[in-house]
Amino acid sequence: MKKSRLNLFKSTSMLISIVGIIMIVSTIIVVAYVSFSMVSSGLTNDISSGNQYDDLAQLENDYNNLSLKFDEIKSSYYDGKDTNSIDEYNTAKLELTRAGTAIDNVKSALDSGKPSNEVDSRLDFANKQIQKAKEAYESL
């Protein structure tokens, strides 16, 4: 009877030791996986953010070029004193102002560290606004 209890105790303590080792190893694996995921996610966000800054710079460049074009033709619309042409110019200029606001919105999202997908949606909206402003300029 004493030998069977001793064998039972040995096998139980061996089982507890093996389960403990397995739990320690699995905990180390889980912690390593979570750490790796966080690091790779951070790198991906930084890379994505870099591309988004490039897109923002392109949008600002397009906006500035379009703004210069609007300024060049402004006098021809305001000198004529034709209210219809002034209204057309002001409507087109309003589209440019909306594009500028959309670009500022993108800049704000990037500066505040918004998620990549939200910044991308704001970039898409700003691109659409720039296109509308270009079409408005071309219609003048």
**Kindly report the CA angle at 43 between 42 and 47, in degrees rounded to 5?**
120
70-79 LR contacts (CB < 8 Å, sep 24+): 70/96, 70/137, 73/140, 77/140
What's the pLDDT tens digit per position in 3-62? 677 777 788 888 899 999 999 999 999 999 988 887 776 665 555 567 888 888 899 999
Q: Does the global pTM surpass 0.85? A: no
Domain ranges of the chain: 2-139
